[in-house]
Amino acid sequence: MKILHTSDWHIGHTLYAKKRNDEHEKFLCWLREQIAEREADALIVSGDVFDTGVPGGAAQRLYYDFLTSVLGTCCRTVVIIAGNHDSPGLLEAPAGVLERLSIHIIGLPSAPERHVIAMRGKDGEVGALCCAVPYLRKNEMVRIEDDAVTSDEKIAMATAKFYSDVTQAAISAGEKLPIIATGHLFVTGAMRHDGDGVRDLYVGNLGQVGADIFPKELSYVALGHIHSEQCAGGEEHIRYSGSPLPMSFGEIGKDKFVLEIDTDDGMRIGKITVPVFQQLRAIRGDHETIMRALKGIADDDVWVEVTYTGDGICPGLSADIHTIVKDGKAEVLSIRNNAVLKRILASSGGGETLESMKVQDVFIKCIENNTFEDKHKRELIDCFDEIVAALEGGQSCG
């Protein structure tokens, strides 16, 4: 049987406040076409279906429209797990109804047997078993009462035990069938990119696990959380599919994939390149370089991130950029003036850099270098802290 593996859709994601629903709609239409053209028997979505735990109505419509569209294809089984961005309760709310349509939603860990899902091939017979393991939250995993081990060791031990229990339940359920597991976690050694939008699951190195936690009986492990496609722990059968859309301008030029697993061909793993649904362009340089580059793309349907790296403050930069693109199709989503930030840091002394500072510290320095009354400064800082806390907690801001 053929299985497609994808993850980290992040439906509802915004790029510098620019909604991406159109991109997600095009991706989901394309994915349905791939299911039909490749005669895929099953689809696995390894977490982070939505960008926040409280997705808006438009995001949920895209999700449910896609699920209903799959019903008319050759896909006989859909398995979806919750990621760290998702609300397990929201995903599981319609699980009872969707399960009757062979769409299985797993949001929270429970009895091992519940995580074992039969996936059927073209002949209607069970061709593989899926151990559907969602994102395992720290408070659900660290229950080992042993002061001799550290918190990260407790998480790794508890995670390994959970996978072992679910795998054993699958072995008991089916004889000599390929067993495919899911996961939404960070495997030690996985590669990330600057600005890829991946949030630490816990703190620092907590929550990282080695590839050896996955039982050897597993034929394939479909992972989510990391936004670039790659093997985990050097194991070809343990894979991140990566996100289908670039999560930031830092991912420009990096191919995106959906993975195809063929159980009839020795668990062959193929990569299907996802089309680019929205062109992105990052422009860096001094005033002249930026203006020249913008003139060349002003009539293109492209989203642009501008970073000014000149030495002067260049106070008219935003106005000049607006003048160039106002009659064209290009949209400038962000203008970063590094000279202003450098001046603010230089005036504070101490040799601080953006890399060494927290986002709240940068914001406070920007506030201090402007003429705000003290009471307004406090209000602005409190509002900013609330926004940062909401973003780091995977919540919606308003």
| pLDDT score recorded for residue 341 | 67
Mean predicted confidence (pLDDT) in 230-238: 96
Condensed to tens digits (0 to 9), the pLDDT of residues 349-374 reads: 555 655 555 666 777 777 766 666 67
Mean pLDDT of the chain: 88
Mean predicted confidence (pLDDT) in 285-301: 97
Determine the Cα–Cα distance for residues 368 and 307; give it in Å rounded to an integer: 23
| pLDDT score recorded for residue 345 | 62
- Evaluate if residue 396 carries a pLDDT over 50: no
Query: Which residue is listed with tokens 């990119």?
Result: 193
Determine the Cα–Cα distance for residues 8 and 55; give it in Å rounded to an integer: 14
Greater confidence (195 vs 187) lies with 187
Residue 157 and residue 117 in contact, taking contact as beta carbons nearer than 8 Å: no
Run of H or E including 273: strand 268-273
For residue 313 the two structure tokens come to: 């403050």
Mean predicted confidence (pLDDT) in 89-100: 96
- Evaluate if residue 144 carries a pLDDT over 50: no
Query: Which residue is listed with tokens 């991109």?
Result: 23
Strand-pairing partners, residue 181, are 131, 221
Q: List Cβ neighbours of 10 (8 Å cut-off, separation of 6 or more).
A: 48, 50, 51, 85, 197, 243, 245, 247
- Evaluate if residue 119 carries a pLDDT over 60: yes
Mean predicted confidence (pLDDT) in 76-95: 97
Residue 76 and residue 44 in contact, taking contact as beta carbons nearer than 8 Å: no
Domains (ranges, CATH) in the chain? 2-273 (3.60.21.10), 279-392 (3.30.160.720)
Query: Which residue is listed with tokens 């801001």?
Result: 397
| pLDDT score recorded for residue 111 | 95
In the chain, the amino acid numbered 99 is E
| pLDDT score recorded for residue 301 | 97
Mean predicted confidence (pLDDT) in 278-298: 97
Gyration radius of the chain's alpha carbons: 23
* Rounded percentage of the chain residues whose pLDDT exceeds 70: 82
- Evaluate if residue 207 carries a pLDDT over 70: no
Determine the Cα–Cα distance for residues 185 and 208; give it in Å rounded to an integer: 7
Pairing mode, if any, of strands 2-6 and 42-46?
parallel
Q: Model's pTM, two decimal places?
A: 0.85
Mean predicted confidence (pLDDT) in 204-212: 70
